Each structure stands twice: as C-alpha cells, then as structure tokens.
Amino acid sequence: MSNTSKVHDDVLSRAVRSGGERGTAIVEVDHIAKTYGSGAKMHEAVRDVAFDARPGEFLCVVGPSGCGKTTLLRCLSGLMPPTSGEVRLHGRAITSPPPQMGLVFQEYNRSLFPWMSVRRNVEQPLRKRLGKADRRTAVDEALAAVGLTGHEEKYPWQLSGGMQQRVAIARAIAYRPEILLMDEPFASVDAQTRIELEDLVLEVCATYGITILFVTHDIDEAVYLADRIVVLSPPPCVVKEIVTIDLPRPRDQIATKALAEYSELRKHVFEQIVGRH
C-alpha cells in the first residue's frame, strides 16, 4: 500500500460517517422538515435533517448551493418553525429565539445600527440584562477579544467590512451565549480578512467555550474550523454524512492546511457534495 493510500484510509476511518459516539448534546435536531405553500405550489426545502451539537463543539454545515442551509439555520434559531420534527436546546423545544443563543449573519451591514457607535451596537442586547457598569465591562472585554479596542466611538459606516463583522461577533459574545449560530458570516469579505476572521472565531470558541454552529459553502473553511461537518444533500436536503475532523488543535492556516490529512478530508467532503467518488 502506498503512503498516500494509507493516509487516505487512516483519515477516513477516523471520519466516522455516523458522527461518532453521542456525547451530551446541547442542541438536538430531531428529524426536522420544512415546506412552504401547499398543493401544487408546495415547495419542500428541508426533507429530513437530524444531528446534534455538543458543548464546546465547532460544528459546520455544508452542502450544495440552494440546498436549504439558511432555512435550516432559521429553524434551529427559532426564527422559523419547522413543518415537522423538533429542535431542542437542553432537551426543551425551541419555538422562538432562546436567550442562550447568539446569531451572526452574512449581511453584517444590515445587522448593525448605522446611527449607533460601535460601543452602543455591542451594548444594545445587554440593556435589559446588566447594569451600566457591568455593561461597560462586558462591552470592553468583547471588543478586546475581537481586536477592536480603540474603535468604541466609531460608527459602522466608518469601518471596513471585516471590522463591521468583528463588531457583530463582539455583540454576540458580549451576550455570553451558550451556542452561537453563524450563517456564512465571512462570505462577503476579502480573502485576507476571511483568514483573520476564521482564526478569530476559533479563538473565541476556545476562550469562551461557546458551541458554534457554522453554516458555510466553503469546504476549505469547514475543514479548517470544524470538529465535525454535517454534509447536506441537494434539495430538498437530508443529512448525507457527518464527518469527524480529527485534526490537531490549535489550528494554523499554514501548518494545518499543509497536512496530508487536511487534503484528504477536504477531498472527501468535496466528493460528498458534488456526488463524485
């Protein structure tokens, strides 16, 4: 057997298709489906999706374009009810956005209030939870965590796209959620900024112990970030496979992507999405 074949077999034997042994789940997605309309106009977006997310885990969701990833995330967040099935947080059904959950979307320029300073944007969700002094401390810590100390009094329109997304991430972590849902959050920034934000969100996950569920269309990004990857089928989507990413941490943009195991996992996930072997 060649070295390349041996690496391939070793890597894929660890990438357990069933998702590996179940640990204590923080979120359980229990065979949810989502359809729109009725009769001849009915559109089936999500057919049957089941997986879990575990405490402190970085879970990525990938699939073909238009497969229903964003619809799935809206169901997970409680912004949209599934047609059937159930999403549970700590065993309780999610029927509206729960307080333990933070959200970061792709369109950061729409999620920030342009008339508010960076500080006020990050502070906004905390106003009913913390007193003034505690809010200030939480905001300062969150902005320091994303590298925005010194930009507190600027407005979103004065910042680059990458910096605006850092503000959105700071707002989410200042709230100290147990789980953070991120919908293609780096799709609208340039390549260099994307690399910086990928490493930032890994650091946030490690520092705060937040469970992250990250939807992306970028296979390289998913393999670099994830502990496990949920691979969705073409629409209407089902879970095609759950792949364990057994790469060493901390991850490094150069060293990790130079590993033979990284290349094999990337190739495998790509083949599952495009349907080639």
pLDDT of residue 276: 60
CA atoms of 275 and 271, how far apart (whole Å):
6
What lies within 8 Å, CB to CB, of 14 at 6+ separation is 244, 246
Query: How confident is residue 1, by pLDDT bands cut at 50, 70 and 90?
Result: very low
Model pTM score: 0.88
Q: Express each pLDDT in 38-53 by its tens digit.
A: 877 788 999 999 999 9
91-100 long-range contacts, CB within 8 A, separation 24+: 91/28, 100/177, 100/178, 100/179
Q: Confirm if 110 and 166 have CB atoms less than 8 A apart.
A: no
Residues in the chain, how many? Answer: 277
Query: How confident is residue 171, by pLDDT bands cut at 50, 70 and 90?
Result: very high
CA atoms of 38 and 73, how far apart (whole Å):
22
pLDDT at 167 over 70: yes
Q: Express each pLDDT in 5-23 by its tens digit.
A: 443 444 444 444 334 444 5
Q: Could you tell me the domains of the chain? A: 3-100+177-274 (3.40.50.300), 113-175 (no CATH)
Tokens standing for residue 179: 């789980």
Q: Are strands 84-89 and 92-93 parallel, antiparallel or unpaired?
A: antiparallel
Higher pLDDT, 223 or 42: 223
**DSSP result, 7-48:** HHHHHHHHS-TB-SS----SEEEEEEEEEES-GGG-EEEEEE
Q: Express each pLDDT in 131-156 by its tens digit.
A: 889 999 999 999 999 999 999 999 99
Q: Express each pLDDT in 69-83 by its tens digit.
A: 889 999 999 999 999
CA atoms of 1 and 8, how far apart (whole Å):
11
Q: In what order do the strands lie in the sheet with 211-215?
A: 92-93, 84-89, 27-36, 43-53, 237-244, 228-232, 58-62, 211-215, 179-183, 101-104
Q: What 3-state class would DSSP assign to 145?
A: helix
Q: Confirm if 164 and 107 have CB atoms less than 8 A apart.
A: no
Q: Express each pLDDT in 101-124 by its tens digit.
A: 999 987 777 789 999 999 999 999
Q: Are strands 58-62 and 228-232 parallel, antiparallel or unpaired?
A: parallel
